[in-house]
Chain A
Amino acid sequence: MKDLGAPALMGISKVGKKSRPIKPDPHFGPPLKCTKRLKEIMTRHYMLSRYAEGAKPVAWVTSGAPVEVLRPFGIYTVYPENHGALCGAKKMGPELCAVAEEHGYHQDLCSYARIDLGHYFSGKTPAGKLPKPDLLFASNNICQTVAYWYKALSHYLKIPLILFDTPYNFREITDSDISYMVRQFEEMIPVLEQVSGRQFNYRKLQEYVRIGKDASLTWGEVLATMKSRPAPMTIFDAFGHMVPIVSLRGLPLALEYYRTLLSELRERVSHGVGAIKRERKRLMWDNIAIWYKMRDHSSLFAGQGMNFVTATYTNAWAETTPYMDENRPFESMARAYSLVILNNNLNSRLELMERLIKEYQVDGLVIHSARSCKPYSVGQYDLKRLLMERLEVPSVIIEADITDSRAYSEEQTRTRLEAFFEAMEG
């Protein structure tokens, strides 16, 4: 039970089975062998999660929280956002959201939160069972929403909530911001000792920070293989393969997995094997995936000879890794976690996107305006305009949602994408 991860991963493995068309799609190259290994890891972790409740302290954690600090305490971690993505991919979003709505949660709220609350009220989940938490650990480095959502959970479950508060970087990060976050780490240690019944072990923390950094760097290298032409995988593959870096961060298993994946991808690159057979155009994706449309979109774009080779979303778990330093674990985690894309001003986002477009030789951009996610979506209309002005990259905005398919219009999306495909050929 040492390297436990999110139980929802098991469900994702089932999604993996379904997410590939039953008849092989002629537009795709050979599937990644590693997918099988990913499923094994997920299954194992799912099995272990069933025994976690009662045997180990369990924490529900937000995707951007500095989870390394929980690891030395042997706390089992569950990621409700991953679970939300899984429910979305299994097309259970509307059903679970509706349960939360019956309890008064407005349809305009983030659907990851509504799914999680819907699961809390109904117990429904495609992942078998989620272990009940003893602790909630959230960081507002991705949004304030998680703070509201976890506050609601804390009230219902009557358990403590630790909020790691990361000041938004309107300009450069300051020393005062860093000290504030370091002090918060120091303040949370006694709480974690109490919840876990274990004493804090600094050396162990250093070890987890080192492993977490190595895994994130390796994940970065995995993504970087997509700079090759043809790219050895698509961003839709990466959306699935990113689960360990979100859920198992800091654990040796994640590092081991990404090393295996990296060598397979390098092998493909050296033999010129592409994720899609005819890679004519290369695209970038902005924002979280539209989980219930992954398969449709991946076939649609592959059919056009268009491959997504980079995304701001997948990049988020690699981007600030270099700041991690086991010799200064708190300070370096403060920097790495507060400089993530969603906690940074929009100018840095623009610069990041410009860099990715150049490095990955991107021809076009698909922007998902996600109704759930205001911090990711507000500013996208201007980003589209500025990227066109600066780099002449054509782009399209899809108005949708991450998991609640009721906010998705098939017709409107088709019309917009057809216009985009035309512009890409122009």
Chain B
Amino acid sequence: MTRKEYIIKQKKMGRHIFGVFPAQYPREILWAMNVAPVEIWDPPLEITGANAHLQPYICSVVKLGLELILQGKCDDLDGFLFPHTCDSIQNLASIVNDYLGMEKPCYFFYHPKAPFRDSSRIFYMEHLKGLAALLKQQLGPLDFSKLNQCVEQGRQVTSLLRELYNMRASGEISASNVQFYRVIRQGEFLLPDDFIPLLEEFLTASKGRSVAGPAVILSGVLPNPPEILTLLDELGVRVADDDFLSCSRRLLVPFSQARDPFEAMAETYFAMPPCTTKGSSIDERLNYLFGKIEGSGARGVIFDMVKFCEPELFDVPQLVKELKERGLATLVIDSELNQGLSGQLNTRVEAFVEMIS
């Protein structure tokens, strides 16, 4: 079922559909309020209208998201949620809410930035409740027991994803890189009722030996252009793990034992893997990467950057320097989303793979 068909089906079932911009948000609250969050990362569109609103030096995640709205492809949605991921998303949220004359409700979710202190925890909890209170005006009250169920479902999703990631890191998955991310990324729009069986099925079906080639870690915002995965498959490279904002950084969260669902969500947020968008230090990010490298036997890291992405680009020089000092190979590429791999990028990836083979 395509994303579009799925949305239509959910709508028919009486669900509210929200367009959610990157990256991290309390999805459990939305699920519990009968909302199907559909994440907007890299819709396959040609950018035309968005250029009248955004400068050439703005990343294509933001441009494509706006393009999706301008082309009327969000007309059937019931609202938008903009998490505060970076300056560009922040201002995009304000353009959509303040300048486009849209009738749809727009919600905003601010994450406290690290280093996390007591103040951050108090604020985050208040903010979660504040979001629920705002949504209530449109969607009706939040059912506490439903929220508890959704938090539990969130744990199940995480647990399955973790198992898949662990299998992949230890070379026990037969799925290709392309297949792996195709499945993982279904979680950007499937509700847990549908995502959990899909993950279970994939887990069973893809048990087996990984390709024997060298292993790498991918880091960046999201696995795009998809051609990079295809190329790595062709070259016999195993993506052993990732440090993508859209994937491991927000999906592989530790469990919380808290009984209060808001506390559980807050604990989870503060224990999430380090990320540029929440102000994690370079040391935390390095430790996270080294952990992944050790756990998977990867020989190098490919930094797959979205052009103009400030949060990611700022950390790269220090990460690269320290990885190199530990004898690991690194490759930094940057490209616009959905533009494929240029001949030059293709060659650079091939040269990198040759080096680590």
Contact = CB atoms under 8 A, between A and B. Distances in A.
Interface of A: 103-106, 108-110, 113, 140, 143-145, 147-149, 151-152, 154-156, 163, 165, 167-168, 170-171, 174, 176-177, 179-180, 183-184, 186-187, 345-347, 350, 369, 371, 374-375, 377-383, 386, 399
Contacts of A371: 55, 57
A186 B92 CA distance: 33
Interface string B208-222: 000000000000000
Contacts of B90: 144, 168, 375
Contact of A176 (B52, B56, B126, B316): B126
Contacts of B14: none
27 contacts: A105-B313, A106-B334, A109-B310, A109-B314, A113-B314, A144-B87, A147-B279, A148-B276, A148-B310, A152-B282, A152-B314, A154-B281, A155-B283, A168-B108, A170-B94, A170-B108, A179-B122, A180-B112, A180-B119, A186-B119, A187-B117, A346-B95, A346-B99, A371-B55, A375-B90, A378-B88, A379-B91
Contacts of A186: 119
A220 B232 CA distance: 59
Nearest to B277: A144
A378 B93 CA distance: 11
B187 to A, nearest CB: 26
Nearest to B85: A144
B91 A151 contact: no
B116 to A, nearest CB: 10
B315 interface: yes
A379 B62 CA distance: 12
Nearest to A140: B113
Given A152-B318, A163-B113, A176-B123, A345 B97 contact: yes
A378 B311 contact: no
B98 interface: yes
B130 A345 contact: no
B123 to A, nearest CB: 4
Q: Which of A108, A140, A174, A350: most chain B Cβ within 10 A?
A: A108
B308 interface: yes
Interface in B67-121: 82, 84, 86-88, 90-95, 97-99, 108, 110, 112-115, 117-120
A179 B112 CA distance: 13
B279 A378 contact: no
A337 to B, nearest CB: 15
Contact of B99 (A170, A187, A386, A399): A386
Given A144-B311, A381-B54, A176 B117 contact: no
Contact of A105 (B52, B115, B127, B317): B317
B323 to A, nearest CB: 12
A152 B316 CA distance: 10
B136 interface: no
Contacts of A113: 314
Interface of B: 52-58, 62, 82, 84, 86-88, 90-95, 97-99, 108, 110, 112-115, 117-120, 122-123, 126-127, 130, 276, 279, 281-283, 307-308, 310-311, 313-318, 320-321, 332, 334
A108 B112 CA distance: 26
Contact of A109 (B92, B127, B313, B332): B313
Contacts of B283: 155
Given A168-B110, A170-B108, A108 B313 contact: yes
Given A165-B113, A375-B90, A345 B98 contact: yes
A106 B334 CA distance: 10
Contacts of B52: 381
Contacts of B112: 165, 167, 180
Nearest to A142: B87
Q: Which of A140, A179, A346: most chain B Cβ within 10 A?
A: A346
A177 B119 CA distance: 10
A147 B276 CA distance: 10
6 closest cross-chain pairs (CB), A and B: A104-B317, A183-B119, A148-B314, A378-B91, A170-B108, A180-B123
Contacts of B276: 148
Nearest to A100: B317
A369 B94 CA distance: 17
Contact of A378 (B55, B84, B110, B313): B55
A147 B114 CA distance: 10
B119 A374 contact: no
